[in-house]
Structure 1
């Protein structure tokens, strides 16, 4: 009977460890999803800034041409 109790104790310990790993995995999944959302936001912001920089560059060229003429 002692062997059976030892096995049950080990099973409970393994189950607790598994639940802990599953909890950590879920937390990491949430962190990963937040990171992906932030990356998408930063990429969108970067693209907007690049477009704005290109517009300003074209405006500067246009003003430079007007000044030269």
Structure 2
């Protein structure tokens, strides 16, 4: 019962498009990386490097989503 109460209050944040971009970049990067590693193709190095770049760029979206979804009370800002 305790877990149901905490999951009910969780939200995806204010920036849903940035979250979707982060997940999309993660999925595409992982697919390209695994395809470059596991498939026997002549251009495997391109797939590995491109997949790792997609995963690195997804970190930018994850950090942006997290920092834009933070809630700070106006009293703590000392305005």
TM-score grouping bracket, smaller chain normalisation? 0.3 to 0.5
Which structure shows the higher helix fraction? 1
TM-score normalised by the chain length of structure 1: 0.44
